Structure 1
Amino acid sequence: MTYSSIKEFHEIASSPRKQIDKYLAEGKKIVLTVPYYTPDEIVYSMGLVPMGTWGADMELNRAKEYFPAFMCSIVQSILELGISGKFKGASAIIIPSLCDTLKTMGENWKYAVPDIKFIPMTYPQNRKPAYGIAYTRAGYERVIKDLEECTGAKFSMYRLAESNKLYNEHNEAMRRVDELLARHAEVTVQERSDIFASANYMLVEEHTALVKKLIAELEASEESVGNYPVVVSGILTDMTGLSEAFDEIGIHIVADDVCAHSRQYRTDVPDGDDPLQALAVKFANTDNCSVLYNVEKPRIQWIIDIAKERGAKGVVVVMTKFCDPEEFDFVCIKEACEKADLPLALVEVDRQMKQFEQVKTNLETFRDMLMF
């Protein structure tokens, strides 16, 4: 079955530059937001357009002048895009500090792309105690000050409260579409990826409206279940070659533990009289992610629980090369899957990959395991 909104998601996901030009033509200012957990709510509340960037599948050239080869290709490709002018017209870039590679990116960006202001967002490791929440809030205040200086926009607590509500509404819609996609195997892995990727390049209310349109279409259609339902886990899984491999083999994603996809939408901003404090509490409440410190590692049990809840036959971990936080968690995921009698596959990817034959062979073997 063909859903009318699916084509719209694909067109937007495949042409982020077109979206930048569209908003610039409307007189809006663009602020690039780098993963993970950048406070888009603040950017949007100031009348600016938060434009998420997870890099792109491309050959790295100039970025290698600033990063050694073993650094994460997501971060390197973001810098490559900046150096090559793909973000021309953007006013600023917000870069968080949630992994070692991101901590080095900001200083490199200042020299490599001087026309787009670097704004740091420093998050605490111990984010849940009161002092951690206060630290996060102070980081947000720094971001607000820098945005006001470089864009001329003004911050308002009232507008932030309204922004928080809009983003909560979007979270709810994304969680609902995730539930429905688990029961609609006719939606391909590539189409599923487009739904999530397009959110990076649209104003929140525009994407929410499009997602709600798809939700209505899915709810009105007959459900279908794939032969090989799996949970996919990782940082980023939107490489076209990877999606094509999943679709060709017939694997159906019934849930994801992917940072670029569903992880972004699990936690809402809580109610409160102080919307900036509430936003800091949201980050404190965010969990089940390799880049967020938690000695208990609840993410591992979350993967097992969602696999059982959605009827998954196995788990596929998509490992971004040189991503230390994900590599550390993989051992725990592997042990948990073995105890739960869930088959597990590991595939390794990066932003420079052109050939996915080895990945496809790995997934074909994994599919054959699921048949028995």
Structure 2
Amino acid sequence: MAALNEVLIKFSDIAANPDKQLKAYLESGKKVVACAPVYTPEEIIHSMGFVPMGVWGADVEIKEAKQYFPAFICSIMQSILELGIKGVYNGVSAIVIPSLCDSLKTLGQNWKSAVKDIPFIPMTYPQNRANENGKSFTKAGYERVIKDLEAATGAVFSEEALKKSIEIYNEHNAAMRKISNLLIGYPQITASQRSDIFKSAYFMAKEEHTKLLDELINVLEETKSEENKKIKIITSGILADNKNLLKIIDDSNFQIVGDEIAHESRQYRVDAKLNLSPLDALSEKFSEMDNCSVLYDVEKKRADYIVELAKRTGAKGVAIFMTKFCDPEEFDYVFVKRALDAAEIPSTLVEVDRQMVNYGQAQTILQTFAEMIG
């Protein structure tokens, strides 16, 4: 048990201290590129010699960013800009921001005005991504990112280097999927510890994070699982990493046995095919992504995906964490709730944002949900 706690503390320290990680990389002579949500082409950035570092904002009071955003917009975008204005990201070579929702589009434009010393590089994705035109459009977007990175930083792109980075990312994807499935059998891992495993991935080079995951997997396989007296649930939403919220989940005797969170497992579902040229492989990968609120899907297959995930993991219910003012998630909720009800899988909705101070309502909702399905 001591060995397990030791490796979990490593994940926790990294997840809690992205500024420490950034400083360490910069002091070692490495260059860092900030990657905004949701599907930034990290493989390209990694292949050009940078450490891709995720920026999903933080639980901070919004002050400076109010000059650029209205109050009724996703707090993740607000807090990313707030941190940028305050100099938290100083030292990064550029920021890449995809345009998968209206809020992300405005973040990019506001960034150019508010944070002039960190170049903004857009990644424009198509809505209809699965047909040949969509794949070509995506590939053109990647080629633009490459040119912009070369112009902003002086780095040089290499297809051979990209192929190697794709292999590294595929390996990391597999390790993340393995750990997610493995944790189902270890109810002693708390919601907060599980979150740290996923969150830490944004602040490390992927090959380094894979080594840490392998260490955890080895320790878990040598650790006896405790009797499961917790209530199994899956979580859904954009982001659910707040420590106060995670503590409520643990205090309510829930075990997260799977997630459909953009910040977590949605990132690792699809690998790039190694038999294609590197850029074609990445374009094909994006075309195969699905079951996500920010990816266009007229059939709303995500709803059925969540039902099947609940059944596969043995979850007794689904906790949906709705990011306030997130239109894509709000649009999808009707379809998800309808599918869960039809499958007789209980669900509950908790509204969250980056500026929450009082968690009393969330606590009441989750504790009531625990009493209903426990």
2:130 to 125, 128, 131: 128
Q: Which residue of 2 aligns with 1:151?
A: 153
1:105 partner amino acid = L
1:51 aligns with 2:53: yes
Q: What SS class does the counterpart of residue 347 from structure 1 fall into?
A: strand
State which drifts further: 75-84 or 211-220.
Answer: 211-220
1:187 partner amino acid = I
2:117 to 115, 118, 124: 115
| Offset from partner CA, 1:43-87 (integer Å, 9 cap, x none) | 000001101011000100001100000010000000000000000
Q: Which residue of 2 aligns with 1:171?
A: 173
Q: Which residue of 1 aligns with 2:18?
A: 16
1:334 aligns with 2:324: no
Note the aligned Cα RMSD (angstroms): 0.8
CA distance in 1, matches of 2:337, 2:190: 26
Unmatched 5+ residue regions in structure 1? Answer: none
Q: CA deviation at 1:227?
A: 2.3
| Offset from partner CA, 1:93-140 (integer Å, 9 cap, x none) | 000000010011111001100000000000000000000000000000
2:205 to 181, 185, 203: 203
1:356 aligns with 2:359: yes
2:153 partner amino acid = T
1:84 to 61, 83, 86: 86
Q: Which residue of 2 aligns with 1:230?
A: 233
Does the CA-based 8 Å contact 1:29-1:151 persist in structure 2?
A: no
Does the CA-based 8 Å contact 1:319-1:347 persist in structure 2?
A: yes
CA distance in 2, matches of 1:16, 1:157: 30
Identity %: 54
Q: What SS class does the counterpart of residue 36 from structure 1 fall into?
A: coil
1:271 aligns with 2:251: no
Does the CA-based 8 Å contact 1:313-1:370 persist in structure 2?
A: yes
Q: Which residue of 2 aligns with 1:368?
A: 371
1:138 to 119, 137, 140: 140
CA distance in 1, matches of 2:64, 2:346: 41
Does the CA-based 8 Å contact 1:241-1:355 persist in structure 2?
A: no
CA distance in 2, matches of 1:94, 1:193: 24
Does the CA-based 8 Å contact 1:268-1:282 persist in structure 2?
A: yes
Q: Which residue of 2 aligns with 1:259?
A: 262
CA distance in 2, matches of 1:256, 1:226: 20
Q: CA deviation at 1:278?
A: 0.4
Q: What SS class does the counterpart of residue 86 from structure 1 fall into?
A: coil
Q: CA deviation at 1:272?
A: 2.3
Unmatched 5+ residue regions in structure 2? Answer: none
Q: CA deviation at 1:226?
A: 4.2
Does the CA-based 8 Å contact 1:226-1:251 persist in structure 2?
A: no
1:282 to 258, 282, 285: 285
1:304 aligns with 2:280: no
CA distance in 2, matches of 1:25, 1:310: 43
Q: Which residue of 2 aligns with 1:214?
A: 216
CA distance in 2, matches of 1:351, 1:179: 28
- What TM-score do you get using the length of structure 2 for normalisation? 0.98
CA distance in 1, matches of 2:78, 2:101: 14
Q: Which residue of 2 aligns with 1:75?
A: 77
Q: CA deviation at 1:273?
A: 3.9
2:244 to 237, 241, 245: 241
1:34 partner amino acid = A
